[in-house]
Amino acid sequence: MASSKSSRRAPSTEAPSPDTLRVILGDQLTHTISSLSDVDAGRDLVLMAEVDDEATYVRHHPRKIALVFSAMRHFARELEERGLRMRYTRIDDPRNSHSIDGEVERALGENAVQRIVVTHPGEYRVLRYIEQWASRFGVSVDIREDERFLVSIAAFGKWSSGRKTLRMETFYRQSRRDTGVLMDGDSPAGGQWNYDKSNRRRLPADVEPPPIPVFEPDDVTRTVLTLVAARYAGHFGELEPFDLAVTRRDALAALDDFVAHRLASFGHYQDAMKTGQSALFHSVLGFYLNIGLLVPREVIDAVESAYRSDRVPINAAEGFVRQVLGWREYVRGVYWTAMPRYRDLNALNAKRRLPSLYWGAETRMNCLAQCVSQTRRSAYAHHIQRLMVLGNFALLCGIDPAEVNEWYLVVYADAFEWVELPNVTGMILFADGGYLASKPYAAGGAYINRMSDYCGDCHYRVGHKTGEFACPFNYLYWAFLDGHREALSDNPRLAMPYRTLDRMDSTRRDAIRQDARLFLARLDDGECV
Ligand code: FAD
Ligand code: DLZ
Ligand code: SF4
């Protein structure tokens, strides 16, 4: 890989001074990225930079920083092998300005560049500074569509315009039709659009999920691990053992492994949780999709092809495709059509500070303890852990969306604002008032008990509704509905729980309110709950 030093050699007749600077961000590690589609090896310079601004604007989990830096270094080496001229700034380069802006400015100062080409970034914050490059640096700036997504921002904008609330299912069906994925002519493969009903099984005790592939760090990754350990020591999370894929080749191996060994059961056990098993039958591909080592279309095609060749059932293939073609594209569309106002939404007026248990402080609630410690170790939790344990608790306790958003952006190695923010603000906190989801995903302890083995080892009793040993999710759930009656009671999807609440006698309702008040006061006082 070229260092920034070697890329500033005096131009020779073979290598004229570059006139175009192609900027590749840390989540754009895709050989077919639009910013390189017409790259000219003779005239262009490709800039990549490891910078503290991106690693610390929130204090990312060290595994995420190592994943991004190591994948960037491997990708730069591959580009160099393609014959491209690289200007790569390492994190420990003493000349590093530690911002993308600063690195672009330095490159422009040392090369007679007329034009910058970059693919649309994944975050509004980054787009804002890229949009200033033209006036700031006096060069033309070509911001290109990120064609790795199947639905463009413009197409989503057209679809969503005029709708007060959006629904993923409608978007998803349209996307299936538009792309032909899992379609038999005009009909959905297998006859149904959605197989969710078959996808809610608890994991039987005798089902052992296959291991997730591990990738041994090579010398490049080892160097990065040493740097990350030294520079970001105070960040939440464990760096080692580091076993993630950092190259496209290994990410493709992870995809093959998922399709061969876990996809068939993905649907059935999608919602299940088990102590000591972080991924179960999930793909663990979000890390690689989100930095570009894999592109969504190839992942979807691999899954569809497994279904077409009878290797996996339709409920598995459809369940998975819905996540990638449905949810992933949908939340991205919501993000870009609703930013920047989306970041400040707080429809339920939630104000509580994020409790220290999210950062690993002791808790007697076993489900939370398990999910937080797994997150600290691996920078990963599967969807139901994020949604129905960690997210559900944040919703029921009324935690400030800004604090919850920051936590999710910090702790998961697949977290980038375009996907993290709508999932937190829209899906778990209902802070957008129902723009993204039709109802809050609030639930009592019974749901967690049904889908996991956490409750058996808990200090609390999931069957107790109130009282000293009652599962806090139980009374917090009813207290949440009670407290947000004005905002939520008209929601048809909540009609049944509100009827149940209204049928409770006043003694029970008072006990719920009292237990919730005491619990939240103890939480605010920093007591172990
Ligand atoms: P699988 O369960 O195997 O699913 C396959 C793929 O589908 C994922 O890799 C992902 O690309 C996509 N997907 C699934 N659900 C969603 C969803 N709700 N939104 C967008 N894509 C989805 N996903 C992220 O990629 N980054 C985040 O920062 C992120 N934050 C989340 C925060 C909360 C509160 C919640 C509830 C969900 C969040 N998700 C996020 C979505 C989802 O939880 C993760 O994509 C998933 O757990 C990653 O694990 P996996 O790769 O094993 O996914
Ligand atoms: C997440 C991340 C990190 C940790 N570091 C870098 C970096 O040093 N250089 C870089 O170009 N990108 C990094 N990224 C990814 C950016 O934050 C990413 O481009 C934005 O999150 C936009 O999606
Ligand atoms: Fe979580 Fe309640 Fe079960 Fe304990 S009893 S693990 S707090 S759901």
Taking the centre of ligand 1 as the mean of its atom positions, its distance from the CA of residue 226, in whole angstroms, is 29
* CA 88/CA 65 separation, integer angstroms: 17
Pocket test for ligand 3, best of 362, 387, 454 (most atoms within 8 A of CB): 454
As a whole number of angstroms, the distance between CA 304 and CA 263 comes to 11
SS (H, E, C) 133-194: HHHHHCCEEEEECCCCCCCCHHHHHHHHCCCCCCCHHHHHHHHHHHHCCCEECCEEHHHCCC
370-389 average pLDDT score: 98
- pLDDT score, position 367: 98
Each domain of the chain, given as residue ranges in start order, spans 20-144, 153-210+262-338, 356-524
DSSP string for 320-340: HHIIIIIIIHHHHHHHHHHTT
In the DSSP assignment, the letter for residue 111 is S
12 band by pLDDT with thresholds 50, 70 and 90 = very low
Count of Cβ atoms closer than 10 Å to residue 213 Cβ: 16
Q: How many CB atoms lie within 10 A of CB 477?
A: 25
**pLDDT-derived band of residue 163, with 50, 70 and 90 as boundaries?**
confident
Q: Which residues line ligand 3 (CB under 6 A)?
A: 365-367, 445, 448-449, 454-455, 458, 460, 462, 471-473
Could you please state the CATH topology (level 3) that the domain comprising 20-144 is classified under: Rossmann fold (3.40.50)
DSSP string, 205-226: TT--PPPPP-----HHHHHHHH
> Can you give the pLDDT at residue 11?
45
Nearest residue (by CA) to ligand 1, atom 34, is 424
Q: What is the CATH number of domain 153-210+262-338?
A: 1.25.40.80
Q: Which of 59-73, 156-170, 467-481 has the lowest mean pLDDT?
A: 156-170
Report the pLDDT value the prediction gives residue 200, as an integer from 0 to 100: 81
Structure tokens at 65: 């920083």
Task: Give me the mean pLDDT over the 484-489 stretch.
Answer: 96
Q: What is the mean pLDDT of residues 457-481?
A: 97
Instruction: Work out the mean pLDDT of the chain and round it to a whole number.
Output: 95
Residue nearest to atom 2 of ligand 1 (CA): 282
* Cβ–Cβ under 8 Å, residues 48 and 3: no
C-alpha to C-alpha distance for 83 and 42, rounded to whole angstroms: 9
Mean pLDDT is lowest, of 12-16, 48-52, 522-526, for: 12-16
Angle at 218 between CA 297 and CA 281, to 5 degrees: 45
Task: Identify the architecture of domain 356-524 in CATH.
Answer: Orthogonal Bundle (1.10)
Q: Quick check: 117 pLDDT over 70?
A: yes
Residues in contact with ligand 2 (CB, 6 Å cut-off): 25-27, 49-51, 54-55, 60, 65, 68, 100, 121-123, 126, 416
Per-residue pLDDT at 7 exceeds 80: no
Distance from C-alpha of 63 to C-alpha of 246, rounded to nearest angstrom: 11
Bridge pairing between strands 183-184 and 140-144 = unpaired
Q: What is the mean pLDDT of residues 502-511?
A: 96
**What does the pLDDT look like over 193-226, one tens digit per residue?**
999 887 788 999 899 999 999 999 999 999 999 9
Residues 6+ apart with CB under 8 A from 220: 70, 73, 74, 77, 246
Residue 410 has pLDDT above 60, yes or no: yes
pLDDT at 2 (0 to 100): 40
Model pLDDT for residues 37-79, shown as the tens digit of each residue: 999 999 999 999 999 999 999 999 999 999 999 999 999 999 9
377: region left, alpha or beta (phi > 0 left; psi from -120 to 50 alpha) = alpha
pLDDT number for residue 14: 58
Mean pLDDT for 497-526 is: 97
Sole residue written with tokens 């802070």: 431
pLDDT at site 140: 97
Ligand nearest to the CA of 450: 3
CA distances 32 to 28, 147, 205, Å, are 10, 9, 44
- The partner residues of 274 in beta bridges, in order of sequence, read 277
**Residue 15: predicted pLDDT:** 67
Q: Ligand 2 mean position to 24 CA, how many Å? A: 10
DSSP tag of 308:
H
The answer, yes or no, to whether residue 3 has pLDDT greater than 70, is no
Listed residue (347, 245, 336) closest to 287, CA to CA: 245
The owner of tokens 């500074």 is 129
Identify whether the C-beta of residue 513 lies closer than 8 Å to the C-beta of residue 482.
Answer: yes
User: Helices (H), strands (E): how many in the chain?
Assistant: 24, 7
Does residue 9 carry a pLDDT above 60? no
Q: What is the mean pLDDT of residues 474-478?
A: 98
Do the strands 183-184 and 187-188 form a parallel or antiparallel pair, or are they unpaired? antiparallel
pLDDT at residue number 198: 77
- Percent share of the chain, pLDDT over 90: 94
74 lines ligand 1 (CB under 6 A): no
Q: Within 10 A of 165 (CB to CB), how many other CB atoms are there?
A: 12
pLDDT tens for residues 270-311?
999 999 999 999 999 999 999 999 999 999 999 999 999 999
Provide the pLDDT confidence category of residue 115 given band limits of 50, 70 and 90: very high
* Whether residue 447 has pLDDT greater than 80: yes
> What's the token pair of residue 187?
């009909």
Compute CA distances 67 → 235, 244, 288, 298, 414, whole Å: 15, 7, 9, 21, 10
DSSP string, 23-92: E--TT---TT-GGGTT--TTTEEEEEE--HHHHHTTT--HHHHHHHHHHHHHHHHHHHHTT-EEEEE-TT
